[in-house]
């Protein structure tokens, strides 16, 4: 399928959708629009892929994955996208609804997020062109499933973000509410043949939903950063629960980076921060660490929290800047750093390099003995001449209610209920004369911790705790 033919096909399908659903209200129409947009992306990725290559690649891609039933369903939809694109587009909305019902009824939220994470966080560097396209198509198909996992799928300004300890889906407010409404209305007007001056239309319709844009370039940048935000939230979903959900961004981010490029702190020197993090001496406090930057060119605050996941310690972060908020995570086992921004080898400097250096420094400064968490050490790795840095460990633990002297007095009391509390692993000092077991030493080394002779590593565990019953 040539580019022009593909564009005409998408236009025709969009016009059919507009005619059928626009009159039913924006909420219903937008949900259908988001589904068909994913369908277009899937078809686009598979345009130049032979069917046998698609079948073979997708088979090996999910051979080791969980969720076999759902994985097979997604695989069948990819095959349909290749063999009959019109039928694929007509069925995709119903497919998402039915798949969401299975996930909800069987309590497969966590497994689904793990499955999605496998695609979102895959390393494409060793893939050939065909495998990359199939991976992208699979990811595009799966990622839109989140739109149908909300408690109320029509509450479009909510994002599913993870699963709590009881298996209930966690939802957060979208940092970019109604962002696809303006272009949807503009497209509807174009189908009617009522097109005004393009930039004026953009200003008018985006302003209607609280956004200020000047031209098509700004709308594109805003759309890109919104997609990056959604992808970030979903990529962090396997690590998000009621104890870590506060790491996710609650505010949007100004995507016009070129306008404040001179305010972005630049990495300085080449310290081996990743190597340092393979020999960590401390764990973070259970509730995390806050880093505050006074007088920084751009950075304001940073929150770090550790979770144990799939035989690795994952450090989650949220950075608050003068231009908004971003978040991401770092896998201490693989050294993979994930954020909405990525390094671009063609540029001398890129914002993603600054964000990555900031995180690696903060995490190394708090968990290793190679540097101290001071303003001086920060200025040694970042050019941010007026910044003053302070760290704050966040205290807090589950407490027995003050009117109860012992936990046994709570059991059986209708005012309280039990819950499971996850305890992160930590390094503990041993009594004089004792040594860590070989198993504890081996586990610590596998997780990147360096133990002193009188220290041991306590693995993550869960314990029962009592909380006030919600009425």
pLDDT category of residue 398 using cuts at 50, 70 and 90: very low
Let me know if 12 is exposed, middle or buried by CB neighbors in 10 A (0-12, 13-18, 19+).
exposed
Give the integer Cα–Cα distance in Å for 207 and 309: 42
Quote the pTM value. 0.84
Q: Of all helices (H) and strands (E), which one includes residue 170?
A: strand 169-173
**Spatial CA neighbour of 227 closest among 156, 179, 157:** 179
219-233 pLDDT, tens digit per residue, is 999 999 999 999 999
CB atoms within 10 A of CB 149: 20
What does the DSSP 8-state code read for residue 390? E
Q: How many other CB atoms are there within 10 angstroms of residue 413's CB atom? A: 12
- The answer to whether 295 and 386 have CB atoms below 8 angstroms apart is yes
Report the candidate in 189, 169, 173 with the shortest Cα–Cα distance to residue 105.
169
Residue 48: predicted pLDDT: 85
Among 331, 175, 172, smallest CA distance to 246 is for 172
- Residues 185, 195: contact at Cβ < 8 Å? no
Helices then strands (H, E): number in the chain? 14, 14
**Between vectors from CA 428 to CA 425 and to CA 434, what angle results, nearest 5°?**
130
Of the ranges 82-91, 149-158, 420-429, 459-468, which one carries the lowest mean pLDDT score? 459-468
CA distance 364 to 288: 14
Distance CA(444)–CA(458), nearest Å, equals 9
Q: How confident is the model at residue 396 (pLDDT cuts 50, 70, 90)?
A: very low
Residue for token pair 């937008």: 30
Res 408 pLDDT > 60: no
Is there a contact between 170 and 160 (Cβ–Cβ < 8 Å)? yes
CA dist 145 and 99 (Å) reads 8
Name the average pLDDT for the chain.
Answer: 85
Judge whether residue 412 has pLDDT over 70: no
pLDDT of 301 reads: 95
Q: What is the mean pLDDT of residues 59-63?
A: 66
Q: Which residues contact 331 (CB under 8 A, 6 or more apart)?
A: 312, 314
Residue 462 confidence (pLDDT) above 70: no
pLDDT at 131 over 90: no
Binning pLDDT at 50, 70 and 90, where does residue 193 land? Answer: confident
Q: Are 71 and 112 in contact (CB under 8 A)?
A: no
- For residue 400, name the pLDDT band (cuts at 50, 70, 90): very low
8 Å CB contact between 357 and 382: yes
Q: What is the largest CA-CA distance in the chain?
A: 84
Query: What are the φ and ψ backbone dihedral angles of 194, each rounded to 5 degrees?
Result: -110, 75
Going by pLDDT thresholds of 50, 70 and 90, the confidence category of residue 114 is confident
Q: pLDDT digits over 3-56, tens only?
A: 889 999 999 999 999 999 999 999 999 999 999 999 999 999 998 888 877 777
Residues 6+ apart with CB under 8 A from 219: 182, 183, 202, 206, 213
Looking at residue 349, what is its pLDDT?
58
Is the pLDDT score of 329 beyond 60? yes
Per DSSP, the three-state class of 414 is: coil
257-267 mean pLDDT: 90
- Integer Cα distance of 192 and 185 in angstroms: 11
pLDDT, tens digit, 9 for 90 and up, residues 276-327:
999 998 888 888 899 999 999 999 999 999 998 888 899 999 999 999 999 9
Instruction: Label residue 454 by pLDDT band (50, 70, 90).
Output: confident
Which of 265-269, 422-426, 454-458, 462-466 is the least confident region?
A: 462-466
């Amino acid at each position: 399928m040539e580019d022009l033919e593909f564009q005409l096909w998408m236009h025709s399908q969009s016009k059919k959708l507009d005619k059928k659903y626009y009159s039913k209200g924006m909420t219903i129409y937008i949900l259908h629009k988001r589904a068909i947009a994913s369908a277009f992306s899937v078809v686009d990725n598979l345009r130049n892929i032979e069917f046998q290559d698609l079948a073979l690649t997708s088979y090996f891609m999910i051979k080791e994955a969980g969720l076999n039933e759902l994985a097979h369903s997604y695989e069948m939809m990819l095959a349909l996208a290749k063999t009959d694109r019109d039928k694929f587009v007509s069925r995709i909305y119903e497919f998402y609804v039915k798949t969401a019902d299975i996930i909800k009824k069987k309590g497969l939220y966590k497994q689904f997020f793990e499955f999605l994470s496998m695609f979102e966080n895959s390393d494409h560097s060793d893939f050939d062109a065909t495998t990359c396209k199939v991976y992208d198509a699979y990811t595009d198909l799966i990622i839109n499933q989140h739109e149908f996992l909300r408690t109320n799928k029509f509450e479009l300004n909510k994002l599913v973000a993870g699963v709590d300890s009881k298996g209930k889906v966690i939802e957060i407010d979208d940092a970019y509410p109604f962002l696809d409404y303006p272009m949807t209305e503009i497209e509807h007007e174009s189908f009617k043949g009522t097109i005004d001056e393009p930039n004026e239309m953009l200003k008018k319709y985006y302003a209607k939903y609280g956004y200020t844009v000047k031209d098509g370039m700004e709308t594109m940048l805003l759309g890109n950063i919104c997609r990056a935000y959604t992808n970030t939230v979903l990529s962090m979903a396997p690590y998000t629960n009621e104890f870590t959900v506060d790491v996710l961004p609650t505010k949007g981010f100004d995507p016009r980076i070129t306008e404040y490029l001179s305010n972005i702190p630049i990495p300085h020197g080449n310290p081996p921060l990743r190597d340092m993090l393979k020999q960590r001496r401390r764990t973070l406090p259970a509730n995390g660490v806050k880093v505050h930057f006074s007088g920084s060119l751009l950075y304001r605050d940073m929150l770090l929290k550790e979770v144990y996941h799939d035989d690795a310690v994952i450090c989650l972060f949220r950075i608050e800047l003068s231009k908004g908020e971003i978040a991401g995570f770092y896998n201490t086992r693989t050294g993979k750093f994930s954020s909405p921004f990525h390094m671009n080898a063609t540029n001398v400097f890129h914002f993603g390099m600054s964000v990555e250096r900031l995180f690696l420094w903060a995490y190394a400064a708090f968990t290793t003995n190679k540097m101290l968490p001071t303003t001086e050490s920060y200025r040694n790795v970042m050019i941010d001449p007026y910044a003053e840095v302070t760290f704050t460990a966040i205290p807090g633990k589950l407490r027995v209610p003050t009117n109860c002297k012992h936990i046994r007095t709570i059991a059986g009391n209708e005012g309280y209920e039990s819950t499971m509390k996850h305890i992160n692993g930590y390094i503990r000092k041993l009594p004089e004369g004792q040594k860590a077991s070989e198993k504890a030493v081996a586990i610590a080394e596998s997780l990147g911790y360096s133990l002193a002779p009188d220290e041991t590593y306590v693995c993550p565990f869960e314990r029962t705790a009592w909380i006030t019953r919600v009425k």
